[in-house]
Chain A
């Protein structure tokens, strides 16, 4: 045992030869990182397909039976939204007929959560609640339906809805493309059953001139 102790001491004390450090780098972390990077890129390139928003417009040939049988819609159900420059959104409820004064007042709002979305949700309360509850039931597992059944059921609820607002979207000349996309998006978010993009008429152009800035 005495011999061993002496040996250890010798090892500690001897400074004749500096200990050679091996210069081998451990490659394991680098291989881990490369593995992760490759997997990440393989998966993300599959997800970079562009997303689209589908819109369907009515046939333009309707000029023939324009005056024939227009279904009578209650004025309080119509919500007219006018988009203008600077992301401004104006809306008014009812019809703007110069033969039946007074003309409705334009209310100015915007695209924030408290803007046009609040109005739309308020007017579409029943249908929105129905659809949201249906979706919740599916998420929590109370009903088990496929994706196509979900879509068809929502379409059916929208078709049978009789109390929701009928939204007419109009844009003035200075509106930008993203305003239209945003408003159609709000239609989808608030589950509006019927909306249409129509041309702005001269009555509304005049209303815009006198509207609050």
Chain B
């Protein structure tokens, strides 16, 4: 029972991390049909910005609790600035081009932004442990857990509920679904699709930044951290179905829980399990578990 509870909590925690990052990726794909490789950069910039300012505020003697505000602010600022600039300066001029070209452009941007991180923040890692230290730890299932790690589950739940609410209970959600379903018809109905694209890209970028900003206090924020996360995020959205929020949530849960089970019971297959799930889903359901229905065009 003790092991079961531990695996469940570990799996939920890792799933939450995966979901926060991959939700942005899948939203951008769902609406804009862009496989955004530079999503890893939003994550990295979120982590760096958050770690930098948490460290600075701590040096200035500000209370550690400010760290949580810094995390939120970092995600929003990174998403707004990077998301807006990238969409307006580069992607906006490429929408009529082949999707493969757009993927290559985002890959190029990813490489550029990785180097800009080096210029802006240097090569030394940043530590932002204060928010994690503030929340201390609790004993659950016979082992000690840091409360900060557990709050990640709450953050992911809030993101999921927020996305559901936005998509299903607001006018914006209806507009988004209309654009997802049929872009041309949306335009014909008077939807300002370019504006929808800009806001969607910024929203996705904020979620990517939030993933990095929230995880920063638990890691050493070092160059290259965006690379690892983008691979995992792709696995999640492929399993769940590209463009589906529900798919990202279920994909994150499947991968997170299976990975935790592997780490506890058969650590040798931990690496294998993530991509094995992806391979199995691709064989039996190439569009992913929850891919949105595609309109048949004449």
Asked if chains A and B come from one complex, the reply is no
Residues of A near any B CB (own CB < 8 A): none
Residues of B near any A CB (own CB < 8 A): none
